[in-house]
Amino acid sequence: MLNVVVIAAALWSGSSQYPVVSSQYPVVSSQEAVAGGQYPVVSSREAVARGQYPVVSSQEAVARGQYPVVSSREESSTINHSPFSSGQSSLASSQEKISSLQSTISTLYSPLSTLERDSTLSDVTISAPKYPEKLARSGKVASVISAEMIQANQGKSLGELLQQSVGVAVVGARSAPGTNQEIYVRGANTGHVLLLMDGFPLNDPSHISSVMDWNLISLANIERIEILKGGQSTLYGSDAMAAVINLVTKKNVKGIQLVLQGGGLGTHQEQISWSTTRGNNQFQIQAQNYATDGFSSAKIAQGKAEADGFKQQSWGLKWERDMGKLGNLDFSYSSQLYQGNVDNGPFVDDQDYTSEAVSHSFRAQYQVSKFTIRAFQDLIHREFRNDSSDVAANAWSKFSLSSYVGLNQGLEAFVKIPVKENATLLIGSEYRRQKTEQSDLSISDYGPYVSPDLAEKQKTQQIVGTYATWQQSWGKFGYEVGARWNAQSTFGNYFTYNLNPYWAISQTAKFFGNYYTSFKTPSIYQLASPYGNLDLQPEQGKTIEFGVEKKLKAWRIRAVAFENQVNQGIVFQAMDIEPFGKYQNISQQQTHGIEFEISYQTSKFQADFNYTYLKGEMTDRDSTYSSLIRRPTNAWNLYLQAKLANKWSVGLSNQIVGQRTDYFYDESTYSVQPNPMAAYIWTDISVHYQINAKWKVSAVLKNALNQEIMEITGYSGQPRNGQITLSGSF
């Protein structure tokens, strides 16, 4: 904890407590180091996921300082980015910090009742548009994964659960535990989806794309998940180009909730929460512990590879006070951490490559009448260490230690004003501040390498946004129109807007059409690193969509056609002079597709089917190619849930993931090669038994057909395994 406090003080003060010495060898992370193929850089799954072709440098070329070098933390395509530190003392402190929380355990339980999945009901209420709002009064495309659906999928991770939703692909969710998961909505890049927790943005400024490490997120305290498609930058600013995913935590749960889980791959999980009310005050404590022996991250053709285990802990405190006419006050603190083993790249096992991370989040909210004010701070520290006791044959270094810290802070105030019976005005303003400290150390036959530090005055970026939306309905028609003005400390001013009309054809049918503009701010690394470019402008997005939804007794149907465009996309462009690469706004991306959903629900049976079709291309200065790297053109999901008796229910989840194309560096030919990956069928089977009013037992068999899948070239997919969960409420 002391280490985190020291780091936080360094970030607040603006001075680096951990100086980084510059080196003759430039470093660039693999996620970005994909230059248009002109100069070799080490590839990673992150690099290709951004739609940039990766290439790998030879050791001789790197040793001569001819080409940018990718740090060893980026070479592992399992987990590739981290906090920051320098040497053994920082790592020891980090381990002490993690071990101090080893005893924590967590999560809430709610009994299984009628099941809902990705609900498209017009009477569903979501909170993602700042205030709870019925979808009947909106033309936006939203889905809800309900508390019942989460409970019905006990034993699955957040990524596995989201994978079942229409238009959503989570690459890495079915790979080894601890894999750095990349989420794509409607084929857009992973950095174009904004993740929220109760409406608060989750970002990591130390990441090259400013996205949160999903291994720091647990389903332990999540009540429901809201997915709001389209560009949502008017309300949420940067990153909300393809969708917003809002994780809503559990509230008003009384007593003790307990979850115990165990199963294959040496997996076990313990969750506990306790809530109580004292007068006008409500208190909640929750904790979770998860551990698995896992399986090898790298896919090894011959011999037995080491299983890459993973441990995750989280705990949190929440206090809420009802002050009557004076409003409501909420305050929460949560901490998440993990430790994991990773491998040294595709097809390469590594015995002593480890990762660990910890985050601390503070959130406060005050509401009175229609006025809300929010404040938050997230501090994330990630660290990656590759020791020298086991050196892979293709390893560039004998030892590496990478460490990254990100500080994300914000303050927001907004008010919803009822203008008349059928019209409302939402006005708000927010301030965000981000800062990072980063360090990479590696030792090879050519000596030590320490990455150059970011420029001191450029480690921080700030953005202020002011927005307004007008929502009105009359008769069968309604619309929402909104605009946002943004002022960023580096690139200046930027403006976005949206228009969302709809026509309620009847009480059970609706037609809608939406147009959004959106943006993504360049990250601090893209702006201020040795390869940064202070002239970068934000990535600009446009989304247009048309759709219809219909409810007919027990049936619900929705179909949406959409097109997303991204201009001024930021990519790493290679150069033939030092530093041999620079970030530039030179790419354009266009994706269009169709989403179709149909569901049938009675009191004893639930059936959901959805289909996603995608086609996309990316153009830079040199070429045009498919932007759907590792993303399927076609994906189908079928989910069935049935109550067999008063206490028994069974479920089936089946997904067909179509053909995808990945790219890898072929060391035999010194060139980047495409790797077409075959379609596969993923099947999960679940059984639930309600023992009594307080206890329930669930079992899930994942990958029931034992398909040998590969989400990322050279990395293993999850084998068949079963998990059993016992849930109790007191």
Residue 451 to residues 3, 56, 86, 356, 713, Cα–Cα distance (Å)? 21, 19, 11, 20, 28
| pLDDT at site 393 | 63
Greater model confidence, 710 or 73: 710
Percent of the chain with pLDDT over 70: 81
| CB-neighbour burial class of residue 393 (10 A; exposed 0-12, middle 13-18, buried 19+) | exposed
| pLDDT at site 123 | 57
- Per-residue pLDDT tens over the stretch 178-202: 888 899 999 999 899 999 999 999 9
- Per-residue pLDDT tens over the stretch 25-62: 333 333 333 333 322 333 333 333 333 333 333 332 33
Within 13 Å, how many C-alpha atoms sit on residue 252's CB side?
1
| pLDDT at site 474 | 87
- Per-residue pLDDT tens over the stretch 102-112: 333 233 223 33
| pLDDT at site 25 | 32
Q: Of 592, 674, 546, 588, which Cα lies nearest the Cα of 187?
A: 592
| pLDDT at site 179 | 86
| pLDDT at site 721 | 96
Contact of 31 with 209, CB cutoff 8 Å: yes
| pLDDT at site 386 | 86
- Per-residue pLDDT tens over the stretch 142-154: 999 998 899 889 8
Please, which pLDDT band fits residue 270 given cuts at 50, 70 and 90?
very high
Res. 285: pLDDT tops 60: yes
- Per-residue pLDDT tens over the stretch 347-397: 888 888 899 999 999 999 999 989 999 999 999 999 999 886 766 666 667
| pLDDT at site 124 | 63
Percent of the chain with pLDDT over 90: 57
Select the highest-mean-pLDDT range: 116-130, 291-305, 509-523: 509-523
3-state secondary structure of 239: coil
The contacts of residue 394 (CB under 8 Å, 6+ apart) are: 344, 345, 348, 667
Give the Cβ contact number of residue 295 at 10 Å: 21
The dihedrals phi and psi of 707, each to the nearest 5 degrees, come to -70, 135
| pLDDT at site 392 | 62
What's CA 181's distance to the chain center, in Å?
7
Strand ranges (DSSP E) for 232-352? 243-249, 255-263, 267-278, 281-295, 308-322, 328-342
Res. 478: pLDDT tops 50: yes
Q: pTM of the predicted model, to two decimals?
A: 0.84
Res. 433: pLDDT tops 80: yes
- Per-residue pLDDT tens over the stretch 570-629: 988 888 888 888 999 999 999 999 999 999 999 899 999 999 999 999 998 878 888 899
Expressed in angstroms, the distance from the first to the final Cα of the chain is 33
What's CA 40's distance to the chain center, in Å?
29
Please, which pLDDT band fits residue 462 given cuts at 50, 70 and 90?
very high
Give the least confident one: 55-69, 124-138, 341-355: 55-69
Give the least confident one: 9-18, 61-70, 210-219, 425-434: 61-70
- Residue 287 to residue 259: CA distance in whole angstroms: 11
Greater model confidence, 651 or 74: 651
Q: For 290-303, what is the mean pLDDT?
A: 88
Q: Of 180, 9, 195, which Cα lies nearest the Cα of 82?
A: 180
Strand ranges (DSSP E) for 307-422? 308-322, 328-342, 353-368, 371-386, 399-420
| pLDDT at site 412 | 97
Q: For 652-672, what is the mean pLDDT?
A: 86
Q: For 467-493, what is the mean pLDDT?
A: 92
Give the least confident one: 108-122, 241-255, 362-376: 108-122
- Mean of per-residue pLDDT scores for the chain: 81
- Per-residue pLDDT tens over the stretch 297-320: 888 877 778 899 999 999 999 999
The dihedral region occupied by 480, where left means phi > 0, alpha psi between -120 and 50, and beta the remainder, is beta
